Amino acid sequence: MLKKWLLLLLSATFLLALNSGCGNDQQTKESSTGDRYLTIKGSDTMVHLVSEWAEAFMHSVPTADLSVTGGGSGTGIAALINNTTDICAASRSIKEKEITLAAQKNIHPIEFKVAMDGIALVVNPANPINALTVEQIKKIFTGTVNNWKQVGGPDKPILVLSRESSSGTFVFFQEHVLDKEDYTAQARSLPGTSAMIQNIATDVWTIGYVGLGYAAQAADKVKTLAIAAEAGKPAIIPSEATINSGEYVIARPLFLYTGGQPAGLTKEFLDFVLNSEGQKIVREAGYVPIQ
């Protein structure tokens, strides 16, 4: 009888483990006290926005506990693939090779477009340059142009600042502004947007790129350049209006990814992000709402 009871217990345990491992629907982690936990990891560009969403969501859902961390879009996607985050925040689309790797681990990422962002080119406020063309930006960041006098400024060397390769902003900028060419070997790679702002605020001859929301927040520390699509066309300052109209050309969508069909707290949070309250926060944080 004891052996029979042990066999039944082992069978029940096996079936429970099997059922818990099947399927890709997001499950809510819940403690014995009823608190529910959700982790969101990824894009540094989106950390401020996601943190604002998380704070407002926890205020409206007191039993929810959300953890938000950055590290870059690539880092967030890797965490999603490795099942160490519930949601990934990404300022670029997931790559085919990442989708393939995820599938090998029975993870099937689902994409949610949650906002739009303009990438702002920023310099020190003391820099007399106010506008550049996309071609000039490309030459600066690939190293063809390395002195401000080559773009109408003073005879001073240009110090190029860039994000690390795990950053979605790094990838988007390289693909859409540099036409997939390599950044100049002289570029200084920085781990986050805050470091970019700090460096530009203290060095007159630096140039870098940040999300529109960060540029707006740091308006007292950096100057946002107007960008012309090409020589002879008007230079446009990034804003909600110019991004929605398509006049500002260095713009991109922002995404949240789940490892399967969202359920539980994950779905509640995504519904909040995409509703009118969540999209109001997008605008207030300096990004561009999608509705």
Span 110-121, pLDDT tens digits: 999 999 989 999
* Rounded-to-integer distance, Cα 265 and Cα 215, Å: 32
Q: Is the pTM of this model over 0.75?
A: no
Q: What is the pLDDT of residue 285?
A: 87
Q: What is the pLDDT of residue 155?
A: 98
Query: Can you say how many angstroms the Cα of residue 192 is from the centroid of all Cα atoms in its chain?
Result: 11
Sorted by sequence, the CB contacts under 8 Å of residue 147 that are 6+ apart come out as: 155, 156, 157, 158
Q: What is the pLDDT of residue 3?
A: 41
What's the mean per-residue pLDDT of the chain? 89
Contact 172, 212 (CB under 8 A): no
5 pLDDT more than 50? no
266 pLDDT more than 90? yes
What pLDDT, in 10s, does the model give residues 52-108?
A: 999 999 999 999 999 999 999 999 999 999 999 999 999 999 999 999 999 999 999
β 36-42/29-30 pair status:
antiparallel
Q: What 3-state DSSP class applies to 234?
A: coil
Q: What is the pLDDT of residue 131?
A: 98
Contact 239, 252 (CB under 8 A): no
Q: What is the pLDDT of residue 35?
A: 61
The domains of the chain, with CATH numbers, are: 38-116+252-284 (3.40.190.10), 117-251 (3.40.190.10)
Q: What is the pLDDT of residue 6?
A: 37
Burial class (CB in 10 A: 0-12, 13-18, 19+), 189: middle
269 pLDDT more than 80? yes
What pLDDT, in 10s, does the model give residues 202-248?
A: 999 999 999 888 898 899 999 999 999 999 999 999 999 999 899 99
Q: What is the pLDDT of residue 10?
A: 38
The predicted model gives 168-178 an average pLDDT of 91
Q: What is the pLDDT of residue 30?
A: 54
pLDDT more than 70, % of the chain: 88
Q: What is the pLDDT of residue 257?
A: 98
pLDDT bracket for residue 21 (50, 70, 90): very low
Lowest mean pLDDT among 1-5, 133-137, 147-151, 284-288: 1-5
275 pLDDT more than 70? yes
